[in-house]
Structure 1
Amino acid sequence: MGGKYTKRYTAEFNRDAIALVDSTGRTVTQATRELGISSESLQGWHRQARADRGEGRPDELTTAEKEELKRLRKLAAEQAEMIEVM
């Protein structure tokens, strides 16, 4: 579970960290030690990158699918609010 002061990393840093695992054959654990980040962070980024490339589990959503789901949930909430007002 994330702490109150979760550190944010740039998209470029995330891509470079994932590439370190994918292109060098290092394990996620080795890469996290080298980069000084949590294994949970890199594991999540790597899992998401694999899903985006179509290499993830069948039940994993891609980043685009997650964004669409977020948009649709927001739209549904807005419509539910409009119905309440009527």
Structure 2
Amino acid sequence: MSKKQTRYSPEVRERAVRMVFEHRGEHGSQWAAIQSIAAKIGCEAETLRLWVRRHERDHGLRPGVTTAEQDRLKQLEREV
């Protein structure tokens, strides 16, 4: 049995991530905020957590490879 994969528009992803940051203070932890907001937009909490982590890396709030760097590496690998 395979899970149905749902694609969310960039606008929905951005809004959900923004909501996590805006409502973080209303919850005991970031994870609690993620769970609450994921339920409201109809996605899995883990999916939203991954979107939040990507946003944090892309904006220098968390160490790691940014989305732009990942895209550039993929492009370079295709050229080789």
Place the TM-score, normalised by the shorter chain, in its bin: 0.7 to 0.9
Deviations 1:10-55 (A, max 9, x none): 0000000001101122511111112121011101100000000101
Q: 1:4 to 1:69 in 2, by over 3 A?
A: farther
Q: 1:24 to 1:63 in 2, by over 3 A?
A: same
Which structure is higher in RCO with an 8 Å CA cutoff and minimum separation 6? 2
Listed as ranges, the matches of 1:1-86 within 5 Å are 3=2, 5-25=4-24, 26=27, 27-57=33-63, 60-76=64-80
Instruction: Give the secondary-structure state (helix, strand or coil) at the position aligned to 1:55.
Output: coil
Q: For 1:64 and 1:38, how far apart are their aligned partners in 2?
A: 25
- Sequence identity (%): 28
* Gaps in structure 1 of 5+ consecutive residues: 77-86
User: What's the TM-score, normalizing by structure 2?
Assistant: 0.81
Query: Cα RMSD over matched residues?
Result: 1.4
Letter in 2 for 1:19: R
* Gaps in structure 2 of 5+ consecutive residues: 28-32
Deviation above 4 Å: which 4+ runs of structure 1?
none
Shift of 1:68: 0.4
